[in-house]
Structure 1
Amino acid sequence: MPVPFTLVTAALAVVQVQLPAQHVEQMPAETYARAEQMMPTRGAELVLQDRIVPQWIAGSDRFWYRVTTARGSAFVYVDPARRVRRPAFDHARLAAALSKVADTVVVADSLPFRTLGWQEEGKVTRVTVSVRRKSWRCELGTYQCIAAESPAAANPNETPSPDGKWALFLEHHNLWLRNTATGERRALTTDGVRRHEYAGSVEYSTEWVTNARNGYPAPPVALWSADSRRVLVQKVDQRMVPETHLVQTIRDTGVRPRLWSFAFPFPGDSLARATWWVFDITTGRAVAGDAPPMELGIVPLLASGEAWWGDSAGTTAYYVERGRGARAWWLKALDAATGRTRTVAEERGAMLVEPAPAVGAPPLVRVTPDGSEVIWFSERDGWAHLYLVDAATGQVKHQITKGEWVVRDIVKLDARARTLWFTASGREPGRDPYLLHLYSIRFDGTGLTLLTPEDAQHQVTLGAGGGWVVDRMSRPDLAPVTVARSLDGKTVVPLERADLTRLLAAGFRWPERFVTKAADGMTDIYGIMFKPSNFDSTRRYPIIEEIYPGPQRINVQKTFVAGSEDQSHAELGVISIRIDGRGTPLRSRAFHAYAYGHLENNGGLEDHVAALRQLAATRPWMDLERVGIFGSSGGGFGSVRAMLTYPDFYKVGVSASGNHDIRGYLALWGETYQGYPVGEDYLAPANWTLAGKLKGKLLLAYGELDDNVAPAHTLQLIDALTRANRDYDLLIATNGSHYMAANTYFRRRRWDYFVEHLLGMTPPDHYLLTTPAEYEHSGTPPDVPRRRP
């Protein structure tokens, strides 16, 4: 059942005047069906032999994977060192054996399982699979299958130890331990209370209400040592954090609305604070870290890769601590036996210093196994690079990588060989500067080697044995090819080449990558363009720009995608565009800092306008008199900002879940990109201050239970629009969360809005979208619809 919506129109007609009926062409339902066919989930279904997930065998670089084929699916075994790629087993024999023991028909080309257990004992290999909810163990030499004990279902509210003997869980704000063999339980802590609890998350995680009302699991946020002896957790105190509130109007039972109140700091507010604790499972000893409480962002350090054990025995833990306003960060070491904490190294700057080139990426920091040196990330020379730091003094020994390009991730470190492998972008001349490549380099900065020479985006996965990677290479205009590569760059084993036959038959049209100049006339900016499958160069097409101005991530895709919001828009009869202007990451520090302290120009809006004008100058089929814009979240802000800043350029806008006034948004985001302390400059980016400049058609939308960007953002904006006597339309998702773009009803109404106001046509009558939307912004499932009694 779709999430209910309410449509409100702000222009009130006092007198109706009968006018002669005018004929407006209605868009055929077939056009919407074609647009639906190009939605992300539908397009992906039409691609074969792509998106493999390697399953490593016994800690080695050998692996198996499952792949979709024209006949169904297949399992493949790979031993890259021997250049072996073959079927993982005889699919027909295994299907016959399973049919016999499971008393059902099992088809070789469509085996009824997506995963399996792989066990090797000498020369004997067995696989364990599930058929009709029963487990079967089959020997691959004889293809004899016997019933196997089904593994116990994992408790999603527990955090198991690496050896499987223990499990942590939360009860009444305290941390508990369970012996998985005996079921014995014991409390590790007893003094936890609401909003001052052990191993929990902050309520301003941007999904707290969504998770709570849908009953999603809440396992302890804890880090086990590899030997399963010690556990590292934080005790989180958010009692001083101000609350914000949401009202749920539609409930499972009854008609009385429910109030949801949760801690949510705005810029300048008090943040949650956390202290470190180490628990020794064998002795029961608890050790408190001696460092002062640290202020927390939105994701616990133990869940975001910002804390880790330095060795398997859990003697030292390392963590990254960020300063308020993102002008400093520190690497700290915690002695698990004493709780003593020391600062290993630090990074400071006048503005925006981060431990990775983009928000959400784990810190690019690696401590050598002996603890003597640190691979360190910094943009101190204007570009994102790696440095070698002395762990005893915190001083930089020397710079490892250098040049006008960006290090993106550390894939592997080999301290004995004093070599590291990393991904980077922007180094290869004549290529899109965002494309990822894999490199190796020695600690002393010599021997820089490109290991993935193809002009493509390289998505690499390191093998469990550490000697190989699986590399999926593609571009928006290049079909994916997946290979295994040795880390010396000498051997490449082909795995899969994507089959696009069905996708092309459905009308897929390759997008066009482009580069234009920014508004300064000098800086290159990059984008992507989508045309309808029935494109006719003699026609004039309106334009829809899908915007996300950052500044924490880019918006233009760099890999091949079979279906997208952009192509769906294009199928309506428009040119769909994405652009990354100045102020977005993954270029130089100066490029990223362009809008720092001036989020009213977030993402370089003038660059977007300049780019569209340059594109239209050489493409007469682009109609600059009919330009629309859509965005969600930060893009919801951006779409409204564009409509208000360039009211004669952008004629139709759709804005979902927009953070229209950063003074009422998450402290971490505003303080990182607008600056800290909070000052009068925070008013400039507020969209409501420009409400009187609205000229075009604007549809605003929000979910009433948006725990990321509260409905107050949109409501305060429409209050200003109403006071300015401007017309707007409003769509409310009762029970809806932040991810409006994932709702099929909203998508259909968005299409309707552009069709009516940008193309000048009547939309199909009540077209029903049946394809679920891809959940683009996080791994959390879309809202669970609630049925009203």
Structure 2
Amino acid sequence: MNKFIFSFFLLFVSFIINSQEANENNFPEANYRLASKFSPSNISKKVHSTEVYPQWLASGNKFWYQYKTTEGANYYLVDCDRKTKVKLFDNAKMAKWLSEITKDAYDSKHLPRFNFEFVKDETAIRFRVTSREMVIVKSEEDKAKTTNDSTSNKDSISIKKIKRLKPKKERKSYYLEYKLGSDNLIVIDNSKKKDTFNKWANVSPDSSLVVFTKKHNLYWMDKTNFLKALKNDKDTTIVEHEWTKDGVENFSYSRSNMGISEDEIEKKIDDRKPVYGYWTHDSKKFIFQRSDVRHIKDLWVINSVTKGRPTLERYKYHMAGEQEFPKNYIEIFDVSTKKKVNVLLDTTIQQSLSIYRYSYKKSDTTKHKPTLILSKKGNLYFNTVSRDRKRLDIHVANVETGEVKTIINEHS
């Protein structure tokens, strides 16, 4: 009897196992290809535009926008006062003009994405289009080097070296103008747009002062000397002034060297570098947030994807569990007196800082948009967040004295 029960039990267990295996084998495989059809990138190709992003004009209550359908992208100009909406141009004509100028094939349904600039009292638009044609480009330094090599003693070695160098090429760019309602497209310039604004320059709202960093310290120059730098960055007559003297490595006014090799840091030690800071709306104060990481241990990384031999990179990194932590400071610089005031912060506790900044309106078409503090009255608003993310405090600081007042506490 016991043998019969034991045999029946084994038969029952084997039946359950076989049923489970059968169910597992019958389970359908995941169809990832079907799921990908409904991904955002694929859906956007069929749905096209679902929203309107108005680009406001400088004068008048007008804006333009792009709206894409299965018939292509159309550009409209809206006059809110007159309650009118008209197309900026005829797509078929624009495709014809672009094809004639760039020698690339365009049709009314497939036009390049435009970024318009309204000119001539907003009666015309200007924009850039890049063609597929590749042209050789040379920097001013390359041109000077080529000229010197070809004229100085006809050095055959230099000439052979120049011939071996593969010329740098890029797509040809066209700068175009279209007068609204006209029947032609004008080519203004075929050259690539040049950067007329130095990347290292942080210009005040009134454009009277320019700040930057050099050798870990904060520097400034006036508008006259900055205009010289726009023409020639290496002009020896440019006068620059050292604003601070307490900047050192890892407690610097310059940006972090993360991602830069040791050799590259040494090569560019004397270069002007950008500084990220905040201005008051009246251009009287410049506010900078500085972090002291001198006591943080180094983290070493080998960059093996660089050209040639791998390079060694080093930067400060605070790892979880370590007692040391970065100490953050907020410093306020007076433009007229060149004096510095420190915001009174508690650096004995680990916390992160964030300064609230002013948001420009979408209708603001001015090209120069420096980073401004939130308040137009000159008060500095910022928040502190604890390491465990359980404490958020919002403060306001007096830009003249550095005194801090806490206005909101959010603790959990």
Among 135, 139, 159, the alignment partner of 2:179 is 139
Among 226, 231, 235, the alignment partner of 2:286 is 231
> How many angstroms does 1:48 deviate by?
0.9
In structure 2, the CA distance between the partners of 1:134 and 1:162, relative to structure 1 (3 Å rule), is farther
- Residue correspondences, number: 311
Could you list the per-position Cα deviations for residues 27-57 of structure 1 after superposition, in whole angstroms to 9, with x for gaps in the alignment? 889x343344344433333321225433222
In structure 2, the CA distance between the partners of 1:299 and 1:82, relative to structure 1 (3 Å rule), is farther
Corresponding residue for 2:295?
A: 240
Corresponding residue for 2:398?
A: 334
- C-alpha distance in structure 1 between counterparts of 2:356 and 2:193, whole Å: 27
* Residue 291 of structure 1 pairs with residue 344 of structure 2: yes
- C-alpha distance in structure 2 between counterparts of 1:165 and 1:111, whole Å: 42
> How many angstroms does 1:196 deviate by?
0.6
Could you list the per-position Cα deviations for residues 213-261 of structure 1 after superposition, in whole angstroms to 9, with x for gaps in the alignment? xx9xx84221233455542212321223455x46558443578785654
Corresponding residue for 1:673?
A: none
Mapping of 1:61-80 within 5 angstroms? Answer: 62-80=62-80
In structure 2, the CA distance between the partners of 1:256 and 1:43, relative to structure 1 (3 Å rule), is same
Could you list the per-position Cα deviations for residues 380-434 of structure 1 after superposition, in whole angstroms to 9, with x for gaps in the alignment? xxxxxxxxxxxxxxxxxxxxxxxxxxxxxxxxxxxxxxxxxxxxxxxxxxxxxxx
- C-alpha distance in structure 2 between counterparts of 1:252 and 1:74, whole Å: 44
In structure 2, the CA distance between the partners of 1:28 and 1:344, relative to structure 1 (3 Å rule), is closer
Corresponding residue for 2:332?
A: 278
Mapping of 1:77-116 within 5 angstroms? Answer: 77-99=77-99, 106-116=106-116
In structure 2, the CA distance between the partners of 1:219 and 1:246, relative to structure 1 (3 Å rule), is same
* Residue 189 of structure 1 pairs with residue 262 of structure 2: no
* Structure 1 length-normalised TM: 0.33
Among 302, 313, 318, the alignment partner of 1:264 is 318
What percentage of residue pairs aligned between the two structures are identical? 19
* Structure 2 length-normalised TM: 0.58
> How many angstroms does 1:340 deviate by?
0.6
- C-alpha distance in structure 1 between counterparts of 2:194 and 2:353, whole Å: 30
- C-alpha distance in structure 2 between counterparts of 1:331 and 1:107, whole Å: 56
Greater CA drift, 146-155 or 33-42 = 146-155
In structure 2, the CA distance between the partners of 1:163 and 1:116, relative to structure 1 (3 Å rule), is farther
Mapping of 1:192-231 within 5 angstroms? Answer: 192-198=247-253, 200=255, 219-228=274-283, 230-231=285-286
Corresponding residue for 1:596?
A: none
> How many angstroms does 1:96 deviate by?
4.5
Amino acid in the other structure paired with 2:382 = Y
Larger RCO (CA within 8 A; separation ≥ 6): 1
SS of residue in 2 equivalent to 1:181: helix
Could you list the per-position Cα deviations for residues 653-692 of structure 1 after superposition, in whole angstroms to 9, with x for gaps in the alignment? xxxxxxxxxxxxxxxxxxxxxxxxxxxxxxxxxxxxxxxx
SS of residue in 1 equivalent to 2:66: strand
- C-alpha distance in structure 2 between counterparts of 1:199 and 1:252, whole Å: 24
- C-alpha distance in structure 2 between counterparts of 1:72 and 1:223, whole Å: 42
- C-alpha distance in structure 2 between counterparts of 1:98 and 1:228, whole Å: 44
User: Contact between 1:67 and 1:74, CA under 8 Å: does it hold in 2?
Assistant: yes
- C-alpha distance in structure 2 between counterparts of 1:97 and 1:229, whole Å: 50
Corresponding residue for 1:346?
A: 407
Among 320, 338, 355, the alignment partner of 1:301 is 355
In structure 2, the CA distance between the partners of 1:140 and 1:95, relative to structure 1 (3 Å rule), is farther
* Residue 128 of structure 1 pairs with residue 126 of structure 2: yes
- C-alpha distance in structure 1 between counterparts of 2:63 and 2:206, whole Å: 22
SS of residue in 1 equivalent to 2:404: strand
User: Contact between 2:382 and 2:396, CA under 8 Å: does it hold in 1?
Assistant: yes
In structure 2, the CA distance between the partners of 1:55 and 1:226, relative to structure 1 (3 Å rule), is farther
Any gaps of 5 or more consecutive residues in structure 2?
Answer: 1-21, 131-172, 230-237, 266-272, 360-370
Mapping of 1:591-740 within 5 angstroms? Answer: none
Among 209, 215, 220, the alignment partner of 1:172 is 215
- C-alpha distance in structure 2 between counterparts of 1:64 and 1:210, whole Å: 42
Could you list the per-position Cα deviations for residues 165-215 of structure 1 after superposition, in whole angstroms to 9, with x for gaps in the alignment? 7654433323344655221462433431121112646x9xxxx55999xx9
- C-alpha distance in structure 2 between counterparts of 1:114 and 1:164, whole Å: 30
Corresponding residue for 2:46?
A: 46
User: Contact between 1:330 and 1:343, CA under 8 Å: does it hold in 2?
Assistant: no
Amino acid in the other structure paired with 1:174 = N
- C-alpha distance in structure 2 between counterparts of 1:155 and 1:233, whole Å: 20
Mapping of 1:356-367 within 5 angstroms? Answer: none
> How many angstroms does 1:119 deviate by?
3.1
Corresponding residue for 1:678?
A: none
In structure 2, the CA distance between the partners of 1:136 and 1:175, relative to structure 1 (3 Å rule), is farther
- C-alpha distance in structure 2 between counterparts of 1:158 and 1:230, whole Å: 16
SS of residue in 2 equivalent to 1:50: coil
User: Contact between 1:280 and 1:286, CA under 8 Å: does it hold in 2?
Assistant: yes
Could you list the per-position Cα deviations for residues 525-555 of structure 1 after superposition, in whole angstroms to 9, with x for gaps in the alignment? xxxxxxxxxxxxxxxxxxxxxxxxxxxxxxx
User: Contact between 1:199 and 1:233, CA under 8 Å: does it hold in 2?
Assistant: no
- C-alpha distance in structure 1 between counterparts of 2:322 and 2:358, whole Å: 24
Amino acid in the other structure paired with 1:274 = N
In structure 2, the CA distance between the partners of 1:150 and 1:200, relative to structure 1 (3 Å rule), is same
User: Contact between 2:89 and 2:181, CA under 8 Å: does it hold in 1?
Assistant: no
SS of residue in 2 equivalent to 1:43: helix
In structure 2, the CA distance between the partners of 1:261 and 1:238, relative to structure 1 (3 Å rule), is closer
In structure 2, the CA distance between the partners of 1:298 and 1:110, relative to structure 1 (3 Å rule), is farther
Amino acid in the other structure paired with 2:247 = G
CA-atom RMSD in angstroms = 4.5
- C-alpha distance in structure 2 between counterparts of 1:254 and 1:100, whole Å: 44
User: Contact between 2:296 and 2:316, CA under 8 Å: does it hold in 1?
Assistant: no
User: Contact between 1:101 and 1:145, CA under 8 Å: does it hold in 2?
Assistant: no
Amino acid in the other structure paired with 1:271 = F
Amino acid in the other structure paired with 1:147 = I
- C-alpha distance in structure 2 between counterparts of 1:297 and 1:82, whole Å: 53
Any gaps of 5 or more consecutive residues in structure 1?
Answer: 1-21, 353-789
- C-alpha distance in structure 2 between counterparts of 1:156 and 1:37, whole Å: 42
- C-alpha distance in structure 1 between counterparts of 2:212 and 2:218, whole Å: 6
In structure 2, the CA distance between the partners of 1:330 and 1:55, relative to structure 1 (3 Å rule), is same
Amino acid in the other structure paired with 1:57 = L
User: Contact between 1:241 and 1:265, CA under 8 Å: does it hold in 2?
Assistant: no
Amino acid in the other structure paired with 1:285 = K
User: Contact between 2:386 and 2:392, CA under 8 Å: does it hold in 1?
Assistant: yes
- C-alpha distance in structure 2 between counterparts of 1:300 and 1:185, whole Å: 33
SS of residue in 2 equivalent to 1:276: strand
